[in-house]
């Protein structure tokens, strides 16, 4: 039983009544166990963060930048170990696990640079229209922040939150997912290696009760949550009780819009990547394919071939294109939607079934001409399940794409770049790709509209999410 709780610079065994069993999803077999944090340990972690806050917020931003660069360097040094853990605990193919590590390194490096910018410009003069006064602005850390991260991109999503929070001068209590609790412990190991002051970073591992204890705690000044809409709603309710800010990155049911002037083979590559990367377990998965009717039949033939030739298997056994779903619960959910599809009479062009046992594998799945009333068209599945629908005009495509309670991302594929840009601006989402895979850069923003959440991560917006604004106005008379 590992010491999975990192509180006030010390590793502790959880005091909670439950334990977490960590699985290899390719085998459906456990390979680690740990005890969950008790509510008292959550209290202890928050108290440690509160005690460490005054010194950390007053630490120069250049020194904080040095720690962030240290995190990036330490992740790089652990590269092969972290890649192997992503493959084992998440079932990620090696090429996907490599991207995750690169992303985490880039995130800490980027926010180190922004922290150095804070050091160079600690305040900003504000021009006033009225003579006789001066004003200047200070950006201050919000305080103690609670970070709750999901299982589909562990290490990455936590980097997106942890790096800007530390750069801003906040202290942190981080709760990883119970499905993938091990890789985030790397951050505690790195904190030890760098001599990060005790209490600046705390990690509490547990299940839903641990997350609830953190989000309901009076000692938190801000919450940042990535996960399901159901839990996000609870997090927002708990934040409302204390009138404190939240960042919520929630679900998606994103559209990929393909016009008839595209290169069909290139379109297939982008479509497959948008739904099969990480076995479709992405809030940004472009799971609704809108295709212009004149090319629909030709595109479906190519997609059928592409789906059926994807190499699906255990990434530890060799090179694969797609691994398993990350948990038994996620596998059960995907299989339930296969049953719903059959009950709705959907036309299955490829896949539509579980693949093998042991392991939580499903086939890459393609449904043709799915009605917009179908549950598979409207509900987030979090699996490699692509639903298609035809359109005739740009206006119809936009109406179909925007007809969703979610608004995270979208992709537009067209040789007409003027049209592609026009459509991108009309889509009711937070991020749009044009003729591209889902390339996410740390310099750009991440977040959505409608039911996909509140606030933005990455870029300078990610840093400002952990800062408060203070103005100082002085009379010169």
7-39 residue pLDDT tens = 999 999 999 999 999 999 999 999 999 999 999
Among 24, 23, 3, which residue's Cα sits nearest to residue 14? Answer: 3
249 is catalytic: yes
- Which one is catalytic: 96, 178, 184, 249? 249
73 is catalytic: no
- In the chain, the domains with their CATH numbers are 5-250+452-475 (3.40.605.10), 255-441 (3.40.309.10)
Q: What is the pLDDT of residues 377-407, one digit of tens each?
A: 999 999 999 999 999 999 999 999 999 999 9
Give the pLDDT of residue 449: 97
Give the pLDDT of residue 357: 77
Give the pLDDT of residue 377: 98
Give the pLDDT of residue 310: 97
Q: Give me the chain's average pLDDT, please.
A: 96
Q: What is the pLDDT of residues 188-201, one digit of tens each?
A: 999 999 999 999 99
Percent of the chain with pLDDT over 90: 97
- Which one is catalytic: 283, 380, 387, 457? 283
Q: pLDDT class for 423, splitting at 50, 70, 90?
A: very high
**Mean predicted confidence (pLDDT) in 68-97:** 97
CA distance linking residue 459 with residue 446, whole number of Å: 8
Q: What is the pLDDT of residues 359-381, one digit of tens each?
A: 999 999 999 999 999 999 999 99
């Amino acid at each position: 039983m590992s010491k999975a709780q990192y509180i006030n610079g010390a590793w502790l065994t959880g005091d909670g009544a439950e334990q977490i069993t960590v699985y290899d999803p390719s085998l459906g077999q456990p390979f680690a166990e740990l005890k969950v944090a008790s509510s008292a340990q959550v209290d202890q972690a928050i108290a440690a963060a509160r005690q460490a806050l005054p010194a950390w917020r007053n630490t120069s931003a250049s020194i904080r930048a040095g720690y962030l660069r240290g995190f990036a360097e330490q992740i790089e040094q652990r590269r092969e170990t972290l890649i192997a853990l992503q493959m084992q605990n998440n079932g990620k193919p090696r090429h996907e696990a490599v991207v995750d590590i690169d992303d985490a390194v880039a995130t800490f490096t980027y926010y180190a640079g922004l922290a150095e910018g804070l050091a160079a410009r600690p305040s900003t003069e504000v021009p006033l229209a009225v003579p006789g006064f001066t004003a200047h602005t200070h950006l201050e850390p919000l305080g103690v922040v609670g970070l709750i991260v999901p299982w589909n991109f562990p290490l990455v999503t936590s980097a997106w939150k942890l790096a800007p929070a530390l750069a801003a001068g906040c202290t942190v209590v981080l709760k990883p997912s119970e499905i993938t609790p091990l890789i985030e412990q790397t951050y505690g190991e790195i904190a030890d290696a760098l001599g990060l002051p005790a209490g600046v970073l705390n990690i509490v591992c547990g299940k839903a009760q641990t997350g609830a204890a953190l989000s309901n705690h009076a000692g938190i000044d801000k919450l940042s949550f990535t996960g399901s809409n159901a839990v996000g709603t609870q997090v927002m309710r708990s934040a409302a009780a204390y009138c404190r800010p939240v960042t919520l990155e929630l679900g998606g049911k994103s559209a990929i819009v393909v016009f008839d002037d595209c290169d069909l083979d290139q379109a297939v590559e982008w479509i497959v990547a948008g739904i099969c990367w990480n076995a479709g377990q992405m809030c940004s998965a472009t799971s609704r394919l809108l295709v212009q009717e004149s090319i629909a039949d030709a595109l479906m033939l190519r997609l059928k071939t592409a789906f059926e030739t994807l190499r699906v298997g255990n990434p530890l056994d060799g090179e694969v294109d797609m691994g398993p779903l990350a948990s038994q619960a996620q596998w059960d959910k995907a299989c339930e939607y296969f049953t719903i599809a059959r009950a709705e009479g959907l036309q299955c062009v490829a896949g539509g079934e579980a693949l093998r046992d042991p392991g939580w594998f499903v086939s890459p799945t393609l449904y043709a001409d799915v009605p917009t009333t179908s549950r598979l068209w409207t509900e987030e599945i979090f699996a490699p399940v692509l639903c298609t629908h035809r359109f005739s005009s740009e206006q119809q495509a936009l109406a179909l794409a925007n007809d969703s309670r979610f608004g995270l991302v979208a992709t537009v594929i067209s040789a007409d770049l003027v049209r592609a840009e026009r459509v991108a601006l009309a889509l009711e989402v937070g991020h749009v790709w044009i003729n591209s895979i889902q390339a996410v850069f740390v310099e750009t923003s991440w977040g959505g509209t409608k039911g996909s959440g509140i606030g933005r991560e990455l870029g300078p917006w990610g840093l400002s999410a952990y800062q408060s604004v203070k103005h100082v106005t002085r009379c010169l008379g």
